[in-house]
Amino acid sequence: MENIVNIGIIVAYILIAFAVLSLIGFALLQIVSNFKRAKNGLIGLVVLLALFLVAFLVSPAEQGPIYEKLNIGPTGSQVISSGLIGTYALVIGIIGTVAYTEVSKWFR
């Protein structure tokens, strides 16, 4: 019974890898075949990557008792902090965009 489960897990991993490679391949094919339409999406992706890069550079690599208890090093702490800072920045940006859109409707 255990061998069947192991084989099932291995097959699932292979199928997930195939799906991810197909996703990346078709995305790159679409970008290459029609770059004008893909330009806005690529700009958004670059802005998102830049946001998380800035969040990573700004985030501290602090070690606290919780990090020591969970055996998380300074780099892991910095990655966690950058994820939180990036998420906070995105949420604040989304709230600002929604507020701007609603206020601008009043003056139309």
* pLDDT (tens digit per residue) in 32-79: 888 888 888 889 889 999 999 999 999 888 877 888 888 888 888 899
Residue 12: exposure state from Cβ atoms within 10 A (0-12, 13-18, ≥19): exposed
pLDDT digits (tens, 9 = 90+) for 93-106: 999 999 999 999 99
Tokens of residue 48, six digits: 């998102």
pTM (whole model) above 0.75 = no
Is-contact 101 85, C-beta < 8 A?
no
> Which sequence spans correspond to the domains of the chain?
1-33, 43-108
Measured CA to CA, the distance from residue 102 to residue 51 in angstroms comes to: 25
Residue 1 binned pLDDT confidence (cut-offs 50, 70, 90): low
